[in-house]
Structure 1
Amino acid sequence: MFRQTALRRIAGAPTTTAPFRAQVPRRTLFSRGNQRRSGRAVENLNIQRLSQQSEDWHRNRRTFLWCGTIAGVISFIYTAYKLKVELSKPNKLDTGLPSSDPLASPSAADRKVVVHDEDGREIVATGNSTVPTFPRTLDLPAYTAPITTPSPTTTDPLTTQTITTPSGTTEYTLVGLGLRTVTFINLQVYVVGYYVATSDIAALQSALTKKINPIATTLVPGEREQLRAALLDPAEGERTWDELLASGVPARSAFRVVPVRDTDFHHLRDGFVRAVQARAGGETMADDAFGEAMRQFRAVFNRGSVPKRKELLLVRDETGRLSIAYDGGANKKEGRPPGRQLIGVVEDERVSRALWLNYLAGKKVASEPARKDIVEGIMEFVERPVGTVASQVVPVVNAKV
């Protein structure tokens, strides 16, 4: 039996005495495992990993879209700004030459250009389309008449104001001008120009010249740059103008305000009052006389609308008294006479000085273009010998507009 079984194993024949068992190869240390693979594709899904990938994709998509939106807004703002800058440039082949175009921007040349209108009057371009020009000189009377109180039954308070016009008038020369803007979108409000009595320019020349060089009658280029830096410096400029105005230099000056859009006296009053309060010190604000002067100042502006292109004058005399005149044009229906009409006077010198400083110097001024243009006008003065009637707006071009 055992012999037959052994012979069958040798011959390869199956044995019948023992039950059939599957032959399972044994795995040893050096043998490879049985890598039997199925013919079907098997995909192992990780739900958590797929969810994380989807979340990352949507987050990146949102970030990309926000970046594109922000870049688009910035590009739009930058393009609009560059377009505005290009449109504001003068349409000249050679902008280095003085321009005779009264509508050209004042920065088109190193010096302003005086042109003549059809009536032969000298005018200066403002760079604004609504108020394109300002007169180079003003002939103003001495506003010395007392101001009468408007009657409650009067429909137009301008008809009750009085004005004294002496036999002669005083000529005022334009020093500088600029545009007043408000809010971050630079909403244009009015064009303002600073005028100094022509006969008082010599005193202003002398005071500013001696501030830099006490023995000089005119300033050389290096000294002019030193004076320009001092006037443009917020602290030094305010200190300089405060000292000059307190000492009565210049003795007579005026600000001419012309709105470029329809406004009203209350709106102008609020801006002026905030400017005066910001410039006046704490002790000054607590003074009863100053408080009464501010009440008088507010009362002057207690009236109606101010259409665009109408003129408002703020005039400071040798005593520092502030006179306010308004030219609303003739109105036969309301009985309003033509020309400038005196509408109010404020006696306290501190009110006019604070209002003047709001345009001339400080960290924040009403119109930065006007302040810079006034400083450039001052530079035209001090480069000439003291006593010479200097004008900022040169050379004169005999042109008709």
Structure 2
Amino acid sequence: MYRQSALRRLARPPTAAALFRPQVPRRTLFARRNESRSGRAVEGLNIRRLSEQSDEYHRNRRTFLWCGAVVGAVSFVYTGYKLAIELSKPVQSDANLPPSDPLAAANAADRKVVVHDEDGREIVPTGNSTVPTFPRTLDLPAYTAPITTPSPNTTDPLTTITTTSPSNTTEYTLVGLGLRTVTFLNLQVYVVGYYVATADIAALQSALNKKIDPIATTLVPSERDQLRAALLDPAEGEKTWDELLAAGVPARSAFRIVPVRDTDFHHLRDGFVRAVQARAGAALMADDTFGEAMRQFRAVFNRGSVPKRKEMVLVRDETGRMSIAYDGGANKKEGRPAGRQLIGVVEDERVSRALWLNYLAGKKVASEPARKSIVEGIMEFVERPVGTVASQVVPVVNVKL
């Protein structure tokens, strides 16, 4: 029956709809799909080409970044160079100044710039944020009064010292300053400045001029370079300063020390004692008189703490006698007045000479920036005629803060 039905369907003629119906191929289990007849879009991916494009993109990106970095560095260096040139230009003085005015001198490029603080005092920048400035001049009394050596058990040795009247003072002019650092970490300890009595500058100037030219009253640039090299040379510089100090030149000078961090007298004493021992040598240290002077020197520093920004002044007079003054500020509880108080005196001039050499000359100094600054300050002295007053020896341009 089924067969007959199928035969009748086959014998039946096809209709018009059947003739025009699209023929859709049937997919069987074992039939392979004809990809050419598929209606889906096929994209051929080239992995190698994509990798090359990615490498080229990152290569161009790195090149662009390197070019930007180089251009930025060049711009930074160029800007710093131009700023350095502008900052190195001298301060122009008023063109209306009379020719006799020191500020109208021909060598205006060599003037120092001294700043005025809010109280009108002349100060010099130190480059340190904790102790930013040093006074250009100091007014110090002649510490010649008798002194009682403080006992190790004295609680307030400042009260055992007597000083001269503050009205009888001497003006000292700053020559150079610098920062002292210790250990390989360059830990900052204090700022130190070297001052010379204004009236004694001419004698120092004359002695240094005669070292280069016995008949010179001032040094030309080549002679100044020769003197600078001699003072910076470890052996020659130490010999020169040792001869000058032994001869009492300059007659009166001082070192002003201001800590940039909290310290104490014992720490400062240990540094000073090591410096004196290194300069004095074994033979001098074995001398009984010198040993007694060193014990006297150590006793002066048998005290407590030294806060940062507090001032200590070491003063050397015409005999080589060293006076040590300290300004710890007023303290009502201890009965301590404000201002510098004399805390000790060392009579042996060899102690002060050795301590002065620790800052001025030698293979190893307490502060190399201070030594170089002092030498440059001396160069400004020797380029002027001997006997010129200090305001003419170091002409300045006053700038109000």
CA deviations over 1:345-398 (Å, ceiling 9, x no partner): 000000000000000000000000000000000000000000012467642223
Aligned to 2:385: 385
Aligned to 2:399: 398
SS at match of 1:113: strand
Aligned to 2:194: 194
Aligned to 1:179: 179
Aligned to 1:96: 88
Aligned to 2:137: 137
**Unaligned 5+ residue runs, structure 2?**
1-79, 93-108
Aligned to 1:164: 164
- The answer on whether the counterparts of 1:263 and 1:308 sit within 8 Å (CA) in structure 2 is yes
Q: How does 1:93-132 map to 2 (within 5 A)?
A: 94-98=86-90, 112-132=112-132
The answer as to 2:148 corresponding to 1:148 is: yes
Q: Distance in 2 between matches of 1:294 and 1:262?
A: 25
Aligned to 2:104: none
Q: CA deviation at 1:111?
A: 5.7
Q: Distance in 2 between matches of 1:94 and 1:361?
A: 33
Q: CA deviation at 1:229?
A: 0.3
Aligned-pair Cα RMSD in Å: 2.2
**Taking structure 2 as the reference length, what is the TM-score of the superposition?**
0.73
**Unaligned 5+ residue runs, structure 1?**
1-87, 101-108
- The answer on whether the counterparts of 1:190 and 1:260 sit within 8 Å (CA) in structure 2 is yes
Aligned to 2:216: 216
Query: Aligned in 2, Cα 1:304/1:89: closer, same or farther, shift over 3 Å?
Result: farther
Q: CA deviation at 1:338?
A: 0.7
- The answer on whether the counterparts of 2:113 and 2:399 sit within 8 Å (CA) in structure 1 is no
The answer as to 2:360 corresponding to 1:368 is: no
- The answer on whether the counterparts of 1:98 and 1:113 sit within 8 Å (CA) in structure 2 is no
Q: Distance in 2 between matches of 1:335 and 1:89?
A: 55
SS at match of 2:87: coil
Q: CA deviation at 1:149?
A: 3.7
SS at match of 1:358: helix
CA deviations over 1:168-226 (Å, ceiling 9, x no partner): 21000000000000111111000000000000000000000000000110000000000
The amino acid that maps onto 1:173 is T
Q: CA deviation at 1:269?
A: 0.3
Q: Distance in 1 between matches of 2:251 and 2:202?
A: 11
Q: CA deviation at 1:99?
A: 7.6
Q: CA deviation at 1:283?
A: 2.0
- The answer on whether the counterparts of 1:209 and 1:217 sit within 8 Å (CA) in structure 2 is yes
- The answer on whether the counterparts of 2:149 and 2:296 sit within 8 Å (CA) in structure 1 is no
Q: Distance in 1 between matches of 2:380 and 2:399?
A: 21
- The answer on whether the counterparts of 1:142 and 1:169 sit within 8 Å (CA) in structure 2 is yes
Q: CA deviation at 1:89?
A: 11
Query: Aligned in 2, Cα 1:200/1:387: closer, same or farther, shift over 3 Å?
Result: same
**Taking structure 1 as the reference length, what is the TM-score of the superposition?**
0.73
Q: Distance in 2 between matches of 1:98 and 1:139?
A: 30
Query: Aligned in 2, Cα 1:232/1:332: closer, same or farther, shift over 3 Å?
Result: same
Q: Distance in 2 between matches of 1:327 and 1:112?
A: 28
SS at match of 2:86: coil
- The answer on whether the counterparts of 2:137 and 2:172 sit within 8 Å (CA) in structure 1 is yes
- The answer on whether the counterparts of 1:115 and 1:397 sit within 8 Å (CA) in structure 2 is yes
Q: CA deviation at 1:94?
A: 1.9
SS at match of 1:380: helix
- The answer on whether the counterparts of 1:114 and 1:394 sit within 8 Å (CA) in structure 2 is no
- The answer on whether the counterparts of 2:329 and 2:337 sit within 8 Å (CA) in structure 1 is yes
The answer as to 2:311 corresponding to 1:311 is: yes
Q: How does 1:67-106 map to 2 (within 5 A)?
A: 94-98=86-90
CA deviations over 1:99-153 (Å, ceiling 9, x no partner): 89xxxxxxxx976420111111000000000000000000000001111244677
The amino acid that maps onto 1:118 is E
Aligned to 2:358: 358
The amino acid that maps onto 1:234 is P
- The answer on whether the counterparts of 1:178 and 1:373 sit within 8 Å (CA) in structure 2 is yes
Q: Distance in 1 between matches of 2:272 and 2:152?
A: 25
The amino acid that maps onto 1:396 is V
Q: Distance in 2 between matches of 1:283 and 1:90?
A: 55
Q: How does 1:256-335 map to 2 (within 5 A)?
A: 256-335=256-335
Query: Relative to structure 2, which stretch is displaced further, 243-252 or 328-337?
Result: 328-337
Q: Distance in 1 between matches of 2:371 and 2:148?
A: 35
- The answer on whether the counterparts of 2:314 and 2:324 sit within 8 Å (CA) in structure 1 is yes
CA deviations over 1:277-302 (Å, ceiling 9, x no partner): 00003321111000000000000000
Query: Aligned in 2, Cα 1:394/1:178: closer, same or farther, shift over 3 Å?
Result: farther
Q: CA deviation at 1:97?
A: 2.6
Q: How does 1:31-42 map to 2 (within 5 A)?
A: none
Q: Distance in 2 between matches of 1:143 and 1:280?
A: 25
- The answer on whether the counterparts of 1:284 and 1:290 sit within 8 Å (CA) in structure 2 is yes
The amino acid that maps onto 2:173 is T
Query: Aligned in 2, Cα 1:117/1:89: closer, same or farther, shift over 3 Å?
Result: farther
